[in-house]
Amino acid sequence: MKAVVVRLDSDGDVLTAGPAVRAVAGRAEVTFLCGPQGRQAADILPGVAEVWQWACPWILADPPDVSTVDITGLVTRLAGFDVALVLTSFHQSPLPMALLLRMAGVRRIAAISTDYPGSLVDHRIRPGIDIDDDQPEPLKALRVAQAAGFTLPLGDNGGLRVRTPPDTGELTGRAPYVVVHPGASVPARAWSPDRCAEAVIALSEAGHRVVVTGAPDEKELTARVAGADALDLGGRTTFPALAGVLAGAEAVVVGNTGPAHLAAAVGTPVVSLFAPVVPASRWAPYGVPVAVLGDQQAACRDTRATQCPLAGHPCLNSITAADVVAAVRRLT
Among 179, 89, 84, CA closest to 123: 84
Q: Which of these three, 116, 147, 178, is where a domain ends?
A: 147
Are residues 125 and 221 part of one domain?
no
Q: Over 90: is that where the pLDDT of 78 sits?
A: yes
Q: What is the pLDDT of residue 101?
A: 98
Length of the chain: 332
Q: What is the pLDDT of residue 299?
A: 82
Q: What does the alpha-carbon distance between residue 239 and residue 304 come to, in Å, rounded to a whole number?
A: 26
Asked whether residue 108 is assigned to any structural domain, the reply reads yes
Asked whether residue 280 is assigned to any structural domain, the reply reads yes
Are residues 190 and 68 part of one domain?
no
Q: How confident is the model over 84-103, as pLDDT tens digits?
A: 999 999 889 999 999 999 99
Are residues 135 and 184 part of one domain?
no
Are residues 320 and 236 part of one domain?
yes
Q: How confident is the model over 274-328, as pLDDT tens digits?
A: 988 899 999 999 999 999 999 888 888 888 888 888 778 888 999 999 999 999 9
Q: What is the mean pLDDT of residues 127-133?
A: 91
Whether the full predicted model's pTM is greater than 0.75, yes or no, is yes
Are residues 24 and 127 part of one domain?
yes
- Tell me if 242 sits within 8 A of 257, measured CB to CB: no
Q: How confident is the model over 207-245, as pLDDT tens digits?
A: 999 999 999 999 999 999 999 999 999 999 999 999 999
* Helix (H) or strand (E) run with residue 292 in it: strand 290-293
Asked whether residue 162 is assigned to any structural domain, the reply reads no
CA distances to 35, 53, 76, 146, 187 from 45, rounded to whole Å, are: 15, 14, 25, 19, 27
Asked whether residue 152 is assigned to any structural domain, the reply reads no
Are residues 206 and 63 part of one domain?
no
Question: For the chain, where are the alpha helices, taking DSSP H only?
Answer: 11-16, 18-25, 39-42, 68-78, 95-103, 137-147, 169-172, 193-205, 219-226, 239-247, 258-265, 280-283, 314-317, 321-331
Average pLDDT, the chain: 95
Chain centroid to Cα 194, Å, comes to 25
Are residues 275 and 139 part of one domain?
no
- Tell me if 21 sits within 8 A of 161, measured CB to CB: no
Confidence band for 164, pLDDT divided at 50, 70 and 90: very high
Q: What is the CATH number of the domain that holds 325?
A: 3.40.50.2000
Asked whether residue 163 is assigned to any structural domain, the reply reads no
pLDDT over 90 percentage in the chain = 88
Asked whether residue 8 is assigned to any structural domain, the reply reads yes
Please report the DSSP string for 252-267 in residue order.
EEEESSHHHHHHHHTT
Q: What is the pLDDT of residue 300?
A: 85
Are residues 327 and 178 part of one domain?
yes
- The amino acid sitting at 256 is N
Please report the DSSP string for 1-64 in residue order.
-EEEEEE-S-HHHHHHTHHHHHHHHTTSEEEEEE-GGGHHHHTT-TTEEEEEE---TTT-SSPP
Are residues 173 and 305 part of one domain?
yes
Q: Give the domain range for residue 185.
A: 169-331
Are residues 313 and 173 part of one domain?
yes
Q: Over 90: is that where the pLDDT of 204 sits?
A: yes
Are residues 97 and 14 part of one domain?
yes
Asked whether residue 154 is assigned to any structural domain, the reply reads no
The domain tally of the chain equals 2
Q: What does the alpha-carbon distance between residue 62 and residue 53 come to, in Å, rounded to a whole number?
A: 16
Asked whether residue 159 is assigned to any structural domain, the reply reads no
Are residues 208 and 119 part of one domain?
no
